[in-house]
């Protein structure tokens, strides 16, 4: 039976396993990069006085119920220069603040586009854990496929 014909199901090969493993590694590297940046901002970032410019509630996609609470804010960086930014925030923080409210903003000195209103942070630890679970699943799936005996080519020759 030809595994490359449209009528037969294709078996997973070692190359497929390697792709799953690669996807898992990519997820881990990306999450670690974002998490490392967030930790650096919290450890070495600068605080600035800011102000809420406006607020908005956005409906999530049809596939995801709920709402996103978006805070638009501005702050003056050390050395001068006004910068505006926006961030999804908790419903609690969103409801406490009004347009014009004074807030403290933590930002990355090297890249002020990475900023967080006080009380909010970067990537939540729950999402980091979920990403590692997903990456682990992809990696294990890839290893199992790679270590399995037999390939589609061997089945074709048999």
pLDDT in tens, 117-140: 987 766 666 667 777 788 888 888
What is the maximum alpha-carbon separation in the chain? 74
Q: How many domains does the chain have?
A: 1
Residue 56 reports pLDDT greater than 60: yes
Range of the domain at 140: 14-144
Both structure tokens of 2: 């030809």
Closest to 115 (Cα-Cα) out of 94, 70, 91, 84: 84
Dihedral of the alpha carbons of 98, 104, 108, 112, in degrees to the nearest 10: 40
In a domain, 2, yes or no: no
Q: Check if the beta carbon of residue 75 is closer than 8 Å to that of residue 46.
A: no
Structure confidence at residue 67 as a pLDDT band (50, 70, 90): confident
In a domain, 5, yes or no: no
Closest to 112 (Cα-Cα) out of 82, 70, 145: 82
Q: Check if the beta carbon of residue 73 is closer than 8 Å to that of residue 117.
A: yes
In a domain, 136, yes or no: yes
pTM for the full predicted model: 0.63
Rounded to whole angstroms, how far apart are CA atoms 118 and 65?
27
**Mean pLDDT value across the chain:** 81
Look at residue 150 in the predicted model and tell me its pLDDT: 55
In a domain, 23, yes or no: yes
In a domain, 119, yes or no: yes
In a domain, 73, yes or no: yes
Look at residue 125 in the predicted model and tell me its pLDDT: 64
Structure confidence at residue 57 as a pLDDT band (50, 70, 90): very high
Rounded to whole angstroms, how far apart are CA atoms 65 and 59?
8
Both structure tokens of 134: 């997903």
DSSP state of 123: S
Structure confidence at residue 4 as a pLDDT band (50, 70, 90): low
In a domain, 66, yes or no: yes
């Amino acid at each position: 039976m030809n595994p490359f014909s449209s009528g037969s199901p294709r078996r997973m090969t070692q190359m497929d396993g390697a792709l799953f493993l690669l996807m898992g590694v990519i997820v881990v590297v990306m999450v670690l990069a974002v998490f490392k940046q967030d930790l650096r901002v919290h450890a070495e970032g600068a605080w600035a006085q800011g102000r809420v410019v406006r607020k908005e509630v956005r409906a999530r996609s049809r596939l995801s119920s709920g709402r996103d609470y978006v805070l638009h804010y501005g702050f003056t960086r050390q050395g001068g220069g006004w910068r505006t930014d926006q961030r999804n925030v908790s419903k609690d923080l969103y409801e406490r603040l009004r347009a014009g409210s004074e807030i403290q903003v933590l930002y990355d000195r090297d890249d002020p586009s990475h900023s967080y209103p006080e009380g909010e942070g970067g990537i939540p630890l729950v999402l980091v854990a979920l990403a590692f679970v997903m990456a682990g699943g992809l990696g294990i799936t890839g290893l199992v496929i790679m270590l399995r005996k037999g390939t589609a080519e061997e089945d074709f020759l048999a």
